[in-house]
Structure 1
Amino acid sequence: MWRRICNLLLMICLFLIFYPIGSGVSLGAAGDGNPSDSNIQYIGRWDKSISSQYNSYWAGAYFRVNFTGTTIKLKVSSSNTVNLYVQLDNGAQTLYSNASGTVNLTPSPLSGGTHTLLVASRDITDTIRFQGLILDEGASTQAPNLRGQQIEFIGDSITVGYKASKIALSSYAWKTGEQLNVDHMQIAYTGICLHDNVSCYSPNAIGMSRQFFKLQTVDNPTSPDWNFNVYQPAAVVINLGTNDQVFNVADSDFQSSYITFLQNVRVKYPLAEIFVLRTFGGFKSTPTQAAVSIRSSAGDTRIHYVDTTGWLASSDYVDGTHPTDAGHQKVANRLAPILKPYVQNLAAGALSTFSSSYESSNWSSANLNDGQRNSVNGSYGWTSNNTLTANHTEYVTLDLGSNQIVNTVNLYPRNDSGDVGQNFPIDFTIQTSVDGVNWTTKVTRTGYALPGNVVQSFDFPTASVRYVKVEGTNLRQNPNDANQYRMAFAEMEIYGVNHASGAYATFSSAYESSNWSYTKLNDGQRNSVSGSYGWTTNNSLTTNHTEYVTLDLGSNQTVDTVNLYPRNDAGQVGKNFPIDFTIQTSTDGVSWTTRVTQTGYALPGNAVQSFGFGSASVRYVKVEGTNLRQNASDANQYRMAFAEIEVY
């Protein structure tokens, strides 16, 4: 008896030695498949307040994880059922209807090795009550590849994917995110209005202007607030107004609600680009556009109105309101190029060079642009390692591989426990170069305050560059590191935003065919390829005359460069590029300012023609050709044509 008691006491003592009280050890560990397994990436709004069961809310919430072994089972609550989709190894999306308890996801074992798993909720009433994964003996989970960026979609049944074959997974929102290879959230509810306190098709007379800020959907009127610190999307897409039209919300009330809603979203997402869509049916387009204009005039420089006129035809709807699967795909094909410049991080995969680098299991030059914005175990970021006891200069440079259009650098401070913002430089510059030898300073900061746990974003005039350097000339001592001098960042991102993406084009004339269309002027295709040669005029073909094309950027944007890509289909390189032309800008589409004047312009080759001018805040950009070029291959007719227009 005494021997058993002594053995028990010995086991308790050993446990307390290795796992002392207050050590913060949780039941779930990385690799074990429990809900708190840090290898599992949760996307969307999840309630993690109960460690043994994480609950998803809103349609299209999902998690991703990799795992080893040949079989895997999913544990969900046995007290409820849920409709969910499962995707293994990027294969087919398999529906599990009314799933409950333990669900065998591999009735036929997989081959050995590492596999990928995605589990997603299908519709607004499908809550995944996730209780863990059951793995093979000796198998473990692994962290999936980071996607880095996130897009949040806010809307009604159209954004949910109502009446589409896979509901949320067939929605334009899901398809757009997947097309851009970014994580995506659908904060949307079937039948909901924007305006609050109106009994629309959704329950409890709650509008999205109120429920968006909650963890749960309108089915839960007492839902707690959502914690917006969980994630900060790079872009937010809003598509609301269809139900407000059906339920006769007055335009003035709708506009007022939209203005306030946009202002409140901006408070929660201070750095996100907000894209407000014209509803696909055109409902409430006037007050929607007015709300965006008012917010833009109030100083919100990261808000955009997207005119969706012509995106869908009557045949693209199931019932006149809800798109078919093909309709959702059409929207995604139009929307993705608009969002791409704002979520495509040019720093991803760039080669880094540096003055010095501390290499360890957590710190590495490779971690500077690995997509991990937070300092997490295994990837704290990059930090210098020279002359630690004296203030000095350090730098890190990213080689983008070739010249890229850039105008923004985002620096993420380190945010490991107790060191948030530490080692962020006090005085520093951001410089660019085309050859890595001659440098141009784009940003200069002195006396920079200790940043908090938020990205530090730096904009500058658009430039075509290959190298981007951050050079710290006055470093910050870290009291938690023996007051040593280092420069450190959790992550570095680089962007170049093309304001022409998604802009609405008007023109003097346009030739419409399978290859030519005004919609192909800014579709992201810089070359004249089959199906997208670009845009060309179609007026007064036998005499010289004036033609123009205008892009409406949706709201005032700060621009300083227009890039014109000549047509370059076989045998036609540079043809129809105007001889005399101007580039003009306007804030209202009525009063114009000429920014560029060219006369006697030579026939261009197969290269972008770039025109820079003084930075200006404008909404409209017009290219007007006053002396056109005859094309001998086209019966010497007079046209103006471009493969693509970009505005930076």
Structure 2
Amino acid sequence: MTFGDRNPSPERGRRQVAPDAVTEQVHTTGRVKDLGKTLQFSWPGVYFEGRFRGTGLGVVLDCAAADYDVQVDGVTVATLVTPGDTTHWINGLRDGEHTVRVVKRNETPGDISTFGGFVATPGGAVLSKPAPRDRQIEFIGDSITVGYGNVSGTRDCDSEQLKRTTNTDVSHGALTARQLDADYQINGFSGLGMVRNVAGITPDATYRTYYDRALLNVDGDVWQNPGTWRPQIVVVNLGSNDFTDLTPGEPWTHDSLAAAYRTAYDEFLRELRTRYGAGTTLVAVGFDRNDEHVRQVVEARNDAGDRGVHYWFLDQSGLDFLGCDQHTSARDDQLIAGRLARFLSSLPTKW
């Protein structure tokens, strides 16, 4: 079996039939901007799933910033590192029907990525897209949610190592969703907080500045939900960056920061409730220094009559934090996913 032929013959290229719209041949729940023949996206962990018949397939991408895994029949057959504008060919498969999944591994908030769909090899065909899963979970958070440097095997990483060793597809959110057979979004942005970012950087923007966007580097962009994204559960894990040590010149005191954080968190949960309705369960994660503040916010929402907000403590016992810059490792993400999946299964979501 051979993989990765990027230079199919001109005859092969002429024999392909392009779909009228990429969404006709792929299943995706990520925040994408639908341009018809292409889909643009920015968030990490966005995935595209399809079906095809034949001995190979072309994957059409235009992205010079992010890395991707290509999985056929559940097995990773190629990792594309900043592939650029290309059709990447997977060849040498057994002749028959196959599934394919393309997933963005890392975060590139300053860049726009483009997916152009799948192309069949001669004699093959791109088949109708897979059915969506019945369950949907949205994960909102920072670097812990992204899977920051989780496959590095070391805490000491330079910027290039960080890019190559961040794999959102094995983050705890992605693993949790797979355990529960759910479609998912990983709407994570490293370094950002609810009201304050790590070390006080970029004080004029926080996570909430970007949450509504499909394309993170486009000011004012708003993701257009096609009406198919209706998560039964939304998991929010924001606050680790808010409570990093204050730096000289910042306008916060510990008390004013804590009060602003609780107020903003409450507002954000209200926004999520308005967006998704009473049928969506909201899970607020307590982690590290934000733990008690999150608990208070959840109790306040419950006291106000919203019983669909739940608190979950991210237990750090047994975690090695061997990811880049002492972040969770892939092993840690597996442990967290197991714990979180059990908790989510216990909630009254009618699953």
TM-score between both structures, scaled by the size of structure 2 = 0.80
What pairs up with 1:137-216 in 2 under 5 angstroms?
A: 137-138=122-123, 139-165=125-151, 166-195=166-195, 205-216=204-215
The Cα offsets for residues 371-413 of structure 1, whole Å up to 9 and x where unpaired, read as xxxxxxxxxxxxxxxxxxxxxxxxxxxxxxxxxxxx88xxxxx
Secondary structure, aligned partner of 1:76: strand
- Indicate if the aligned counterparts of 1:33 and 1:134 stay in contact, CA closer than 8 A: no
For CA contacts below 8 A with separation 6 or more, give which structure has more relative contact order: 2
Secondary structure, aligned partner of 1:44: coil
Secondary structure, aligned partner of 2:42: strand
- Matches of 1:259 and 1:293, distance apart in 2: 10
- Residues 340 and 324 of structure 1: is their aligned pair in 2 closer, same or farther, counting only changes over 3 Å? same
Give 1:216 deviation, angstroms. Answer: 2.7
- What amino acid is the match of 1:275? V
The Cα offsets for residues 450-482 of structure 1, whole Å up to 9 and x where unpaired, read as xxxxxxxxxxxxxxxxxxxxxxxxxxxxxxxxx
Give 1:254 deviation, angstroms. Answer: 0.7
Secondary structure, aligned partner of 2:306: coil
What pairs up with 1:601-616 in 2 under 5 angstroms?
A: none
- Matches of 1:100 and 1:94, distance apart in 2: 15
- Residues 260 and 247 of structure 1: is their aligned pair in 2 closer, same or farther, counting only changes over 3 Å? farther
Is 2:88 the counterpart of 1:104? Answer: yes
The Cα offsets for residues 77-130 of structure 1, whole Å up to 9 and x where unpaired, read as 37x454111111111263100112333331x42111111111111112164301
Higher helix share: 2
Secondary structure, aligned partner of 2:22: coil
The residue aligned with 1:605 is none
Is 2:244 the counterpart of 1:273? Answer: no
- Residues 119 and 67 of structure 1: is their aligned pair in 2 closer, same or farther, counting only changes over 3 Å? same
Secondary structure, aligned partner of 2:45: strand
Give 1:168 deviation, angstroms. Answer: 0.7
What pairs up with 1:299-318 in 2 under 5 angstroms?
A: 299-309=305-315, 311-313=316-318, 315-318=320-323
- Indicate if the aligned counterparts of 1:316 and 1:323 stay in contact, CA closer than 8 A: yes
- Matches of 2:202 and 2:56, distance apart in 1: 41
- What amino acid is the match of 1:251? A
Give 1:36 deviation, angstroms. Answer: 3.0
The two structures, once aligned, show a CA RMSD in angstroms of 2.5
- What amino acid is the match of 2:286? R
Secondary structure, aligned partner of 2:236: strand
- Matches of 1:190 and 1:41, distance apart in 2: 27
What pairs up with 1:320-469 in 2 under 5 angstroms?
A: 321-341=326-346
Aligned residues: 307
Give 1:277 deviation, angstroms. Answer: 0.9
Give 1:66 deviation, angstroms. Answer: 0.7
- Residues 84 and 34 of structure 1: is their aligned pair in 2 closer, same or farther, counting only changes over 3 Å? farther
Secondary structure, aligned partner of 2:144: helix
The Cα offsets for residues 577-600 of structure 1, whole Å up to 9 and x where unpaired, read as xxxxxxxxxxxxxxxxxxxxxxxx
- Indicate if the aligned counterparts of 2:47 and 2:102 stay in contact, CA closer than 8 A: yes
- Indicate if the aligned counterparts of 2:193 and 2:239 stay in contact, CA closer than 8 A: yes
- Residues 288 and 341 of structure 1: is their aligned pair in 2 closer, same or farther, counting only changes over 3 Å? closer
Secondary structure, aligned partner of 2:340: helix
- What amino acid is the match of 1:224? D
- What amino acid is the match of 2:115? F
Secondary structure, aligned partner of 1:134: strand
Give 1:321 deviation, angstroms. Answer: 4.4
* Residue ranges of structure 1 left out of the alignment (5+ in a row): 1-30, 343-406, 409-494, 497-648
- Matches of 1:34 and 1:116, distance apart in 2: 21
- Matches of 1:94 and 1:201, distance apart in 2: 39
- What amino acid is the match of 1:173? G
Is 2:75 the counterpart of 1:91? Answer: yes
- Indicate if the aligned counterparts of 1:189 and 1:202 stay in contact, CA closer than 8 A: no
- Residues 71 and 211 of structure 1: is their aligned pair in 2 closer, same or farther, counting only changes over 3 Å? same
Secondary structure, aligned partner of 1:276: strand
The residue aligned with 1:133 is 118
Structure 1, 287-296 or 203-212: larger mean CA deviation = 203-212
- What amino acid is the match of 2:233? A
- What amino acid is the match of 1:62? Y
- Indicate if the aligned counterparts of 2:71 and 2:100 stay in contact, CA closer than 8 A: yes
The residue aligned with 2:9 is none
Higher strand share: 1
- Indicate if the aligned counterparts of 1:32 and 1:140 stay in contact, CA closer than 8 A: no
The residue aligned with 1:119 is 102
- Indicate if the aligned counterparts of 1:54 and 1:131 stay in contact, CA closer than 8 A: yes
- Matches of 1:302 and 1:93, distance apart in 2: 41
Out of 234, 258, 261, the position equivalent to 1:254 is 261
- Matches of 2:317 and 2:135, distance apart in 1: 28
Out of 75, 78, 87, the position equivalent to 2:60 is 75
- What amino acid is the match of 1:187? N
- Indicate if the aligned counterparts of 1:157 and 1:188 stay in contact, CA closer than 8 A: yes
- Matches of 2:51 and 2:100, distance apart in 1: 6
- Indicate if the aligned counterparts of 2:29 and 2:229 stay in contact, CA closer than 8 A: no
- What amino acid is the match of 1:272? T
- Indicate if the aligned counterparts of 1:34 and 1:132 stay in contact, CA closer than 8 A: no
- Residues 236 and 174 of structure 1: is their aligned pair in 2 closer, same or farther, counting only changes over 3 Å? same
- Residues 39 and 261 of structure 1: is their aligned pair in 2 closer, same or farther, counting only changes over 3 Å? same
Secondary structure, aligned partner of 1:92: strand
Is 2:220 the counterpart of 1:223? Answer: yes
- Residues 201 and 168 of structure 1: is their aligned pair in 2 closer, same or farther, counting only changes over 3 Å? farther
Out of 43, 66, 69, the position equivalent to 1:58 is 43
What pairs up with 1:480-629 in 2 under 5 angstroms?
A: 495=350
Give 1:65 deviation, angstroms. Answer: 0.8
Structure 1, 132-141 or 228-237: larger mean CA deviation = 132-141
- Residues 34 and 117 of structure 1: is their aligned pair in 2 closer, same or farther, counting only changes over 3 Å? farther
The residue aligned with 1:45 is 31
TM-score between both structures, scaled by the size of structure 1 = 0.45
- Residues 266 and 75 of structure 1: is their aligned pair in 2 closer, same or farther, counting only changes over 3 Å? same
- What amino acid is the match of 1:252? A
- Indicate if the aligned counterparts of 1:35 and 1:130 stay in contact, CA closer than 8 A: no
* Residue ranges of structure 2 left out of the alignment (5+ in a row): 1-16, 152-165, 247-251
Indicate the percent of aligned positions where both proteins have the same amino acid: 24
Give 1:325 deviation, angstroms. Answer: 1.0
Secondary structure, aligned partner of 2:242: helix
- What amino acid is the match of 2:283? F
- Residues 287 and 150 of structure 1: is their aligned pair in 2 closer, same or farther, counting only changes over 3 Å? same
- Indicate if the aligned counterparts of 1:314 and 1:320 stay in contact, CA closer than 8 A: no
